[in-house]
Structure 1
Amino acid sequence: MEPKKEDDSVFTDWGRGLCEILENLEKRLTGEDNRVSRPKIQRIPNYMAEKVEFQRYYKPQFISLTVFHTGETEREWYKGAWASMYVRETNLKVEDVYREMYDWNIREGAVLKPMWTKLYDVDPFDEQVDIGLKKRYGPIVDGCCVLQLLQKSESSVDPEQELKISLDKLVRVHQDLLILDNQVPFQLLRLLCEDQERLQKCLCNFLQVHGIQTAPKLPRKRTENEEVKVAVDGDGDDDEDPVHLLDYLRKALLMRDQHTFYKAINHKKNKRGSLHLRKYRIGTIRELKAAGIRVRKDSHNNSVYPSFKDGILQLPELIVDGSTPHIFLNLVAYEMCPDFRNNFEISSFLVFMSSLIDQPEDVKELRMGGIIINELASDKEVADLFNKMDSILVPETPLFAHIRDQIHSHFESKRGRITMLSWMGEASNTFFRSPWTIIALLAATLGLVLTFIQTWFAIHPKAS
């Protein structure tokens, strides 16, 4: 019995239906309305969050903002208490702020509604739904809590007394503010802090807590008639607000003029980036030193960009403490966000440093050169930290590929001299590493000389 044949019109309808579904998915990906509405507050990518050794750096320990980590901490009441302090100390009129946020939401709904819905599971400004006061005012509580923390982080005040919390717990709170999916939109902080100077001071405090002294200047506050801009193409411009605190920290680490840096790189503008995930194997500090390359601290560099010229590798100063893995791993996760086009500068820097550091001796060389400020217990802890973070793979980027090519060219042009220096370096490490090895070398040399003299006189005895 032959199978029943379907009418051709059925297949035509199925084909049209499939094409319509695919077209809708393409519009979802490329549509302009969607491009400006996608916030860069994403969940940590699964391939990073699932690594056991990284999980502690992606989960808040004290306060959870938005709904991504609701119920994961036991001290949520701190958040409400600090928000109350901020409202009282700044005489903030919550009802006025909420009204302004409501008007802003109506005016810029295409931008804000997806953000609110994503971060709080609901649109806090939906009048048709009874969502309760806690969720209704969730954004305000989160924003006020963050601003109070940043205000009281200044060295001239006593944060333990002001915030009623011990210093060890306060350190963990500041680490919570580094987590990618524990951020609040920066526009919210703008609404809650009308004073531009105070907001800039809060951001400076945030950076100084994590050892960054130079802070990017905030652009002026936009008027009501100006559009809210959410950057999706590239790293953004100087006249754009950061997306959140983690984005502001990234801007601070990349303060050096990127246009000037890339202008010095000889690569074709239309050259497509490499599709290979790789590590930048440049060589450890000891290997570079044995090859005649000197490593120095770049005192004039306020960013993570290294430079190489005339056999000298210049690196920026780097403070390594308990917050370092929180900073780097969350910045790497941020650069992996699907709606954030960037050149993987932080990820590449981490891979670059992991190549330079393999053993505690490499850390010691960098520490003695003033490049690494080690605030951990030992050089071994620093080496272990970078080796643990060395699992990151990124596509080849012009920035660090340029440094690698320069070092390779230096090797090729100085091969003979480098070989001699390498031998001399090995000899120095072998025979001159301590006074005892020097004494042993001199004794062995003297023994050879005396043996030679004795042999000479044995072959050529003096005439009687």
Structure 2
Amino acid sequence: MFVFSTYERLASESFPGKIENIHDSWLRGALSKLLISEENLESKIRKSDERNNIPRIPQHMAERVDFRNYYEPRIISIGPIHLPKEDLLQGKLYKDLWAAKYVQGADFHRIQEVHRMTRQNAYISMQFMYLDLLKNEKLASAYDHPPDGKMFATLALVSDGCCVLHLLEKSDNSFEAQEELEISIDKLLWMHQDLLIMDNQIPFQVLRLLCEDQERLEKCLGNFLQVHGIQTAPKLRRQNQEEQELRLIVQGDNQEEEGNESDPLHLLDYLRRALLMRDLETIHKDIRVKMRSWHLRKYRIGTIRELRAAGIRVRRHSNINSLYPTFNHGILYLPELTVDGSTAHIFLNLVAHEIWPGFRNNFAISSFIVFMSSLIDQPEDVKELRLAGVLINELANDKEVADLFNKMDTILVPETPLFAHIRDQIHVHFKSKRGKIRMLSWMGEASNTFFRSPWTIIALLAAVLGLVLTFIQTWFAIHPKSS
């Protein structure tokens, strides 16, 4: 009762007239504690939202066994979250080497700015994370026992930032990248996959501070996109030094709403922007806004084979920069998609980025994955997309692609207007041409059954010939020719 009585006294002083008339002592104490704790709770919520420098993978996705390989770096750790893992300490040799090479040509004034910003409030959450890591004796020894979390965060941010910039700058299309980075091609590919992991990132503002030359920074970012098959890079907004410092001090690395006017959060967020470069206003202008459903759902419209049987054709979208499908006059236009060894890393980490509570967005990438997972169920669906020029398969076979999208089919997202509109368009198409669709469905089933290969065609012709000969034999048996 001592705790409750203290809360009751504080609540009576702060909120007079609120609890005096409550006779039950336990209820009066509980409400008093709730009133007094309101400010503390709001402070905790704000702090949890501000810890966005390096957000963690959402727990329900990180614990999935079949997703784990896509959320664990293999060689290199960026930031504090994966730093204590002993199997990644080998990557520190590459980090130190590449950071040293970048620092040789860097402006030491920029590095001093990173140090100053780190010691201010911009990266306060990272300071606590690095401070916890100092308890690991082996890790602290690898970094020469820094005196506190601030110095450790400064050292790690400078080392990671310079390492990432040197890696991206040398990862162009030339054949000398392996020699300049002094690494084998397989490890280099794994490192680029490590840079896609959501909680293995470095704040973008650190890269800005370390690379003052805007053109040089954009070249590094362009190389990063080209490694993953993206040719068009969004331009960065130019900002002067005073604006950059004010943004860091006041906002930290916080970006509550998506938009291309401000800098991305990190490399993964920059890749997401590159995939969503098309102007959404031109897409949504013809969409009738309906009351939004807040249920998590999947956009079930049928597989490619079911759509084809219903008379819906699939074509490749003419806009190569568009990730958004469209439906018009019975034709479903889909963006060109290359599926290779990095596709799962890109998509699953972008999904984790979009569902992170601190990032407000329209779930565009997640909705696209759910939409494509609805279209692809069997290897035959992948084959149809390949023949339509929509999908480029760089995996071993079509079954691997189908298995990948079936694995991602467990993702649930809130309904978004664009994909809900396409689903409704297809359903309206079904209703308006139900009789014709039924006939086309029968014809499609007959085509898939009897004309899917030369052998089935030969078997069909043999069966028809057998029926004709049987009919002729029966006819002459009933109507024999007179002698």
Alignment of 1:402-413 (within 5 A): 402-413=421-432
Write the distance in 2 (CA, Å) between the matches of 1:403 and 1:359. Answer: 22
Q: What is the aligned counterpart of 2:257 among 230, 234, 237?
A: 234
Letter in 2 for 1:74: L
Distance 1:298 1:119, change over 3 A: farther
Alignment of 1:7-406 (within 5 A): 11=25, 15-29=31-45, 37-39=50-52, 41-72=54-85, 73-75=88-90, 76-88=92-104, 91-94=105-108, 96-104=109-117, 109-110=120-121, 112-117=122-127, 120-121=130-131, 130=148, 135-225=153-243, 227-228=246-247, 232-236=255-259, 238-268=260-290, 271=291, 273-406=292-425
Alpha-carbon distance, 1:40 to partner: 5.3
5+ residue gaps, structure 2, are 10-24, 135-145
Write the distance in 2 (CA, Å) between the matches of 1:257 and 1:457. Answer: 73
Write the distance in 2 (CA, Å) between the matches of 1:132 and 1:77. Answer: 23
- SS of 1:56's partner is helix
Alpha-carbon distance, 1:373 to partner: 1.3
Alpha-carbon distance, 1:37 to partner: 4.5
Alpha-carbon distance, 1:404 to partner: 0.9
Task: Give a deviation string over 1:151-209, Cα, whole Å, max 9, x none.
Answer: 01101251210111100001110011001111001010001111111111111110111
Letter in 2 for 1:92: A
Aligned-residue identity in percent: 61
- SS of 1:385's partner is helix
- SS of 2:65's partner is coil
Write the distance in 2 (CA, Å) between the matches of 1:135 and 1:36. Answer: 20
Point out the more displaced range, 40-49 or 192-201: 40-49
Alpha-carbon distance, 1:334 to partner: 0.6
Alpha-carbon distance, 1:216 to partner: 0.8
Distance 1:172 1:416, change over 3 A: same
Task: Give a deviation string over 1:388-430, Cα, whole Å, max 9, x none.
Answer: 1211111222121111111111111111111111111111122
Alpha-carbon distance, 1:459 to partner: 4.7
- SS of 2:333's partner is strand
Structure 1 counterpart of 2:15: none
Task: Give a deviation string over 1:228-278, Cα, whole Å, max 9, x none.
Answer: 265644322x2211110000000011111112222221114xx3x323222
TM-score (norm 2): 0.85
Write the distance in 2 (CA, Å) between the matches of 1:427 and 1:46. Answer: 47
Write the distance in 1 (CA, Å) between the matches of 2:358 and 2:150. Answer: 32
Write the distance in 2 (CA, Å) between the matches of 1:266 and 1:242. Answer: 30
* Count of residue pairs brought into register by the alignment: 443
The answer as to whether partners of 1:37 and 1:114 remain within 8 angstroms in 2 is: no
Structure (1/2) with the larger helix percentage: 2
Point out the more displaced range, 402-411 or 224-233: 224-233
Write the distance in 1 (CA, Å) between the matches of 2:320 and 2:84. Answer: 42
Letter in 1 for 2:406: N
- SS of 1:260's partner is helix
- SS of 2:199's partner is helix
Write the distance in 1 (CA, Å) between the matches of 2:131 and 2:287. Answer: 45
Letter in 1 for 2:112: R
Alpha-carbon distance, 1:82 to partner: 0.8
Letter in 1 for 2:258: D
Letter in 2 for 1:264: D
Alpha-carbon distance, 1:99 to partner: 2.7
Write the distance in 2 (CA, Å) between the matches of 1:123 and 1:219. Answer: 35
Alignment of 1:396-435 (within 5 A): 396-435=415-454
- SS of 1:42's partner is coil
Q: CA RMSD in A?
A: 2.7
Task: Give a deviation string over 1:125-175, Cα, whole Å, max 9, x none.
Answer: xxx965596544211111000001100110125121011110000111001
Alpha-carbon distance, 1:456 to partner: 4.2
The answer as to whether partners of 1:152 and 1:162 remain within 8 angstroms in 2 is: yes
Write the distance in 1 (CA, Å) between the matches of 2:234 and 2:420. Answer: 27
Point out the more displaced range, 438-447 or 128-137: 128-137
Alpha-carbon distance, 1:215 to partner: 0.9
Write the distance in 2 (CA, Å) between the matches of 1:265 and 1:302. Answer: 21
Alpha-carbon distance, 1:281 to partner: 1.4
5+ residue gaps, structure 1, are 1-5
TM-score (norm 1): 0.88
